[in-house]
Amino acid sequence: MAVPLLAPLRDLLRARAGDAAGRAATVTATIGLAVVAMAMLVAAGLVVLTTAVGFPLAALAFAAIFAALALAVHLLGRVLSARRAAQAVAARRRAEADIALAAALVRSARPLLPLAVFAAAFALMRRP
């Protein structure tokens, strides 16, 4: 027997999981179709360039283009990785500052703890 309060949470998680699976399938299909389209474009370009300058020069040109693309993707990945690392460091610093603030507040509030317990006990005692 499930707890009735957990049913909406379970439904929400199930809907999110189904939505994530749908998005993953859509992205996978898009990437697959893009790869096929790129392969067709490369084949067509190689055929056109082969008729103009010959196969060895055409293959060399396409190899240079793809090497430049690979280098660009690598450099972009490094930039994005550095940005992510900087965000992680900033988040860690914020968390450390929050922990230090919470520790300072707990240390300063510790003398008031017996008073808070007394006030809570008094309030609970006065309830009808």
Q: What is the pTM of this model?
A: 0.53
pLDDT tens digits for range 110-127: 788 888 888 888 888 877
Euclidean distance between CA atoms 70 and 63, whole angstroms: 10
Q: For residue 42, is pLDDT > 50?
A: yes
Euclidean distance between CA atoms 28 and 35, whole angstroms: 11
* pLDDT of 111: 82
Question: Confidence band (pLDDT; 50, 70, 90) for 128?
Answer: low
CA atoms within 13 Å, Cβ hemisphere of 10: 6
Helix axis angle, 6-53 to 55-109, nearest 10° = 150
Q: For residue 67, is pLDDT > 70?
A: yes
> Using the 8-state DSSP alphabet, how is residue 127 labeled?
-
Is-contact 62 45, C-beta < 8 A?
Answer: yes
Of 12, 24, 6, 66, residue with least CA distance to 41: 66
